Amino acid sequence: MLFSTLQKDYRKVQRCLSTGYMEKKMKRSRLTFAVLCAVFILSAGAHLYSSSNQLRPEKKMSESSNSYKELATLGGGCFWCIEAVFETIDGITAVTSGYAGGTKENPTYKEVCSGKTGHAEVVQIEYNPEKISYEEILDIFWKAHDPTTLNRQGADMGSQYRSIILFHNEKQKEIAEKSKQKLENSGYYSDPIVTEIQPLSVFYPAEDYHQDYYAKNPYAGYCSIVIRPKLQKLGLK
């Protein structure tokens, strides 16, 4: 029985080969494969087009959200202190310690500390003006350091520790000048305000180990003796 079945199968194969049956089947298979490829390509193209259309609104939202972020650049002594203050304020999205106001390109911390670069230790603040205004940032700035001491903040002495506002545009300049005059008229400080108001030319971010210094080193000597008491005085810690 098995032998008879094998013989029948063998004859079928011979018949297919002799009549071109297999060749026809292969042609049909190639045609089917080509049709499937075309359908796949068209489907993939339609999917990509649909996906790109769905992503466009998200891209616009991202661009729109960026428009609500502005920058302020301020110097008031050691940047570790000013950075720690503004990192606790609602509406502030980022604070970067760095150098500005001088002439040396890409200065190092050691070079700035020499007092020969003209740069001051500053922080560049990224903020959302819908949550906090430039005027409010300056109000905090005046209280976060002593703007009456020339080239000095506490035990930190040198031009790199001077009080300075580096404005990004004419509107900021106008606001800064009015804010400084308002402070002088208020009598909050008995001595004259010596804070410089200058246009920002270039901001150079400081070395990585300076960034988020207080957050990373809360029990370091300077943080315990200088920064923490300042935050407590301002009601921020």
Rounded to the nearest integer, the mean pLDDT of the chain is 81
pTM recorded for the entire structure: 0.72
Model confidence pLDDT, tens digit, residues 71-129: 999 999 999 999 999 999 999 999 999 999 999 999 999 999 999 999 999 999 999 99
DSSP string of 41-53?
HHHHHHHHHHHHH
Contacts of 122 (CB under 8 A, 6+ apart): 73, 74, 75, 79, 82, 97, 98, 99, 100, 101, 164, 166, 203
- In this prediction, residue 66 has a pLDDT band, given cuts at 50, 70 and 90, of low
Look at residue 50 and tell me whether its pLDDT is greater than 70. no
Look at residue 209 and tell me whether its pLDDT is greater than 90. yes
pLDDT of residue 137: 98
> Which residue stretches of the chain are H helix?
2-19, 21-66, 79-86, 109-113, 134-144, 170-186, 213-216, 221-222, 228-233
Look at residue 201 and tell me whether its pLDDT is greater than 70. yes
pLDDT of residue 189: 92
Question: What Å distances lie between residue 139 and 8, 58, 71, 86, 222, CA to CA?
Answer: 100, 36, 16, 12, 25
Q: Which of 64-68, 98-102, 154-158 has the highest mean pLDDT?
A: 98-102
Catalytic residue numbers read: 78
Mean pLDDT of the region 34-45: 44
Contact 127, 70 (CB under 8 A): yes
- In this prediction, residue 236 has a pLDDT band, given cuts at 50, 70 and 90, of confident
Q: Which residue has the higher pLDDT, 53 or 136?
A: 136
Lowest average pLDDT, out of 2-11, 111-120, 172-181, 190-199, goes to 2-11
